[in-house]
Amino acid sequence: MAHPSLNRKSAIIINAILLFSLALIIIYKLILISEVKITKEIPIENETEVIKKEKIGNINTERIINANNEPQNWLSHGRDYHEQRYSPLNQINLETINKLELEWSLDMGTKRGLEATPIIDNGIMFVSSTWSVVHAVDAKTGKELWVYDPDVPRSWARKVCCDVVNRGVAVWEGQVYFGTIDGRLISLDAKTGKNIWEINTLIDSDKDYTITGAPRVANGKVYIGNGGADMGGVRGYVSAYNTKNGNLEWRFFTVPGDPSLPFEHPELEMASKTWTGQWWTMGGGGTVWNAIVFDPEFNQLYIGTGNGSPWNQQIRSPEGGDNLFLSSIVALNADTGKMNWYYQTTPEERWDYTATQDIILADLNVDGEDRKVLMQAPKNGFFYVLDRKTGELLRANNYVKTNWATHVDLKTGRPVLNPNKDYYEKAIWILPGTYGGHGWQAMSYDPKQKLVFIPTMEIAAVHRVKKTFEETGLYKMLPETVNTGTEFNLFDTVPDMSDGDNIPPITGELIAFDPLTGETRWSVKHKQFWNGGPLTTAGGLVFQGNASGFLEAYNAKNGKLVWSKNVYTGIMAPPVTYMIDEEQYISILAGDGGASNFLGDNFGIWEGQLASIKYGNYGKLLTFKLNGKSKIEALEEKDLSIPEQPIINASLEDIKAGQDIYANYCAICHGSGVHGKTISDLRYMSKETHEYFNEIVLNGMLEENGMKGFSDILNEKNAFEVYSYIVDVATKERSLQQRN
């Protein structure tokens, strides 16, 4: 085989070299084959050590799809793309759970809410905290490796409905992606924490947009939405960005804009026919602030959309209409953003019934046919099972008590409204309330039992049309505050009780729910309504934290409590589990807050029961393993004696006016009825706070703490009225304390 341009001797030499090279290739391939066999005998931690040396956080689509092949890691928000929050790890099980103890704890340096799900890859944990701060931690020891603070302007807190929280990061090919409260998407080097790129995702930074949700990543795209539909002028959308450079790949708007202008994509023309009036001047709402799930089997992205803005449909769409795509589950082509199908859980949305709650993907046999389904328990109280390919509604059973609708018609897919619960006619109470039957807190799934574990809530809402709109037909949306078109002053709103039912007490439960039959197999009652999301494991356990400050484990088959640990801090976040050096760990963020700050301590009913009030709200990252070597620090109970209040010259009219202002502008952070939870309870104001009250409230003296001034909305007279109301409440309750 001589080359035509070479002599015979040269050709022989080259052929010999080629034969030698071929032999080396064959030997190398034999070595590789042998290594595959050897790898099965190498412990997991040695195998992953090789990956760690190559690149930290080297996660990709293939690894997440095959997450069961490396159960020692927690690679994506819900562990894998199915987001079932079910782990195959079983070292911690019903027999060993009594040996579970704290291994390490990390002080998160905050007293605000912690909601994030950590990502763990080969011994490194990536987790977000308040104000969108990101931490990288050695998952075995708790040693902090780096911290990145995006320096969110503290004034942005006024744009936030529900605390300066963040629900997590995504990790992909050596980079960490996360959203910030002020609307940025940032990419960090997973090894060093250095900023690689950042972009502003907001279409209008003057509007009350925020990002609190965790991004998702697949096939070189990072997907992110935003929140703000409870505030003012916000229009919902989800965006896909290039993971390498942050370039915008596509964007899908969830509600149509001004119909006199070209629609951004064809689906909006159809949606616009379901709206009336001038909705676009108010934004419309429909924000994608939590549920974003990638489905590799159909290359679809499922998004859950939020409530209308404002809530009251009479204002945003006066002649009614379904108002697409509010409160909907929408399936998009993950590459292009084109809509494949949609299902609207709550047409004519007017109750703050978001469909932004977590979405789980699963395989179920439905009526004798194997189906690939998605499942969601949105706020409205009905549990939906949909065919992932077509969007066909398969089941819609109520998972909590509902009275706003009697049932969901499976033929039309629409809820059948209860005519006696129309708040356009009168003030009424409904279940679920605006907190929903289920909030953003995660739910988990047991693929063996085919059960979903849901942290449910029963908390009624009293709805009434805003008085000023009722009287004048006019409504003005105010910047950087809640704009719902409904009354927030519950003291001045008496609901119609002619149906004979009594408003039930506020409760929360963890339920084991059959998605096909609608049966609740077992339930665990909690002392409060606002508790954490669960984790299910192959060890036969369901883990959940609660507002009383306990992390607990239940038998997945019957709900029996098998382990409980007082951590002295309320918990909203879900636990995760992972393994290092053949030892299984359970890790969770402890730190209460979020939307529950509005209810505070339920007007004193839960005094002494909420860990965040009883001990303070010291945010921690807690990690447990069998025979853990650390101890949880026991905290002393706080002195809740209300201090003596100053004597002021305020009239009953001042106090009543202050009550209304407080309910509309202050309660969302400082608690209804001046009963705060994790943000300052104003009954306990210091002497200095009393002295500088106007400077704080009007001029933003404490803006760097997140308390921006309200001089754009309130004047000095208003500030005095609010102050009068706070002092009046504190004085009366101090007197009651002293008598008791």
User: For residue 258, what is the enclosing H or E element?
Assistant: none
- Contacts of 161 by beta carbon, 8 Å cutoff, 6+ apart: 210, 227, 228, 230, 231, 482, 595, 668
Contact 222, 203 (CB under 8 A): no
Q: Indicate the SS3 state at residue 320.
A: coil
Both structure tokens of 140: 């075995």
My answer on whether omega of the bond before 378 falls inside 30° of 0, hence cis, is no
Both structure tokens of 391: 């969007």
Both structure tokens of 712: 């754009």
Both structure tokens of 472: 């004048």
Tell me which of 352, 592, 681, 728 is the catalytic residue: 352
Cα torsion at 569, 573, 574, 577 (round to 10°)? -70
Contact 23, 9 (CB under 8 A): no
d(CA 171, CA 216): 9
Contact 394, 419 (CB under 8 A): no
d(CA 711, CA 715): 6
d(CA 734, CA 337): 57
Type of residue numbered 384: Y
Q: What are phi and psi of 33, to 5 degrees?
A: -60, -45
My answer on whether omega of the bond before 415 falls inside 30° of 0, hence cis, is no
CA angle (717, 465, 484) in 5-degree steps: 70
Q: Is 182 a catalytic residue?
A: no
Concatenate the DSSP letters of all residues of 446-501 into one string: ETTTTEEEEEEEE--EEE-B-HHHHHHS---PPTTS---SB---GGG-PPP-TT-P
Q: What are phi and psi of 9, to 5 degrees?
A: -65, -45
| CA diameter of the chain | 114
State the Rg of the chain over Cα. 27
d(CA 366, CA 373): 9
Contact 128, 166 (CB under 8 A): yes
d(CA 536, CA 375): 16
Short-list 158, 209, 217, 207, CA closest to 180: 209
**Tokens 């907001």 label which residue?**
202
Q: Indicate the SS3 state at residue 384.
A: strand
Q: Indicate the SS3 state at residue 419.
A: helix
- Contacts of 612 by beta carbon, 8 Å cutoff, 6+ apart: 547, 549, 569, 570, 592, 593, 677, 678
To the nearest 10 degrees (0 to 180), the angle between helices 716-739 and 652-661 is 100
CA angle (492, 498, 502) in 5-degree steps: 75
Q: What are phi and psi of 69, to 5 degrees?
A: -75, -15
Q: Indicate the SS3 state at residue 392.
A: coil
d(CA 708, CA 699): 8
Short-list 664, 585, 657, CA closest to 622: 585
DSSP character for 662?
A: I
DSSP character for 282?
A: G
Short-list 266, 280, 372, 265, CA closest to 317: 280
d(CA 694, CA 688): 11
What are the helix (H) ranges across 142-201?
Answer: none
Residues forming the active site: 352
